[in-house]
Amino acid sequence: MFNVVLKAKLHMVTVTHSELNYDGSCAIDENWLKMTGLREFEQIQIYNKDNGERLTTYIIRAEAGSGIISLNGAAARKASVGDRVIICAYAHLLPEEMLLHKPTMLYFNSKNAVVRTTNSIAVQQLSCQDI
């Protein structure tokens, strides 16, 4: 049995382009693809923090160093330039593969600069409001 697990995440990256009449679905700076191991034409999920939209699409390459996140075609209707999105890719792993797997996660500031990379997320704790 396979389990679906997070492979890579671009967290809070800003949409720079929204091209309704362009082939492809989500152009991502080639440098970020290399950093995360994501590949052109790989399926991704995009979660729009600003409007709550969620969609499934695929990756196309944007120029290395450009800082581009472009939602294209039908995906362009799900986000506006300036929206902050989370882009995730998932992998199907066997339980024994999961023991060694670590996702690659890039965290961005509002200017699309990578401010942190990690392969883990801290354990969520109760806040004072939860007590």
DSSP 29-75: EHHHHHHHT--TT-EEEEEETTT--EEEEEEEEE-TTS--EEEEGGG
Q: Point out the residues that are catalytic.
A: 25, 58
112 Ramachandran zone, left/alpha/beta (phi>0; psi -120 to 50): left
Distance of alpha carbon 130 from alpha carbon 19, whole angstroms: 43
Distance of alpha carbon 11 from alpha carbon 69, whole angstroms: 12
User: Rounded to an integer, what is the distance from CA 16 to the centroid of its chain?
Assistant: 14
CB 9 within 8 A of CB 106: yes
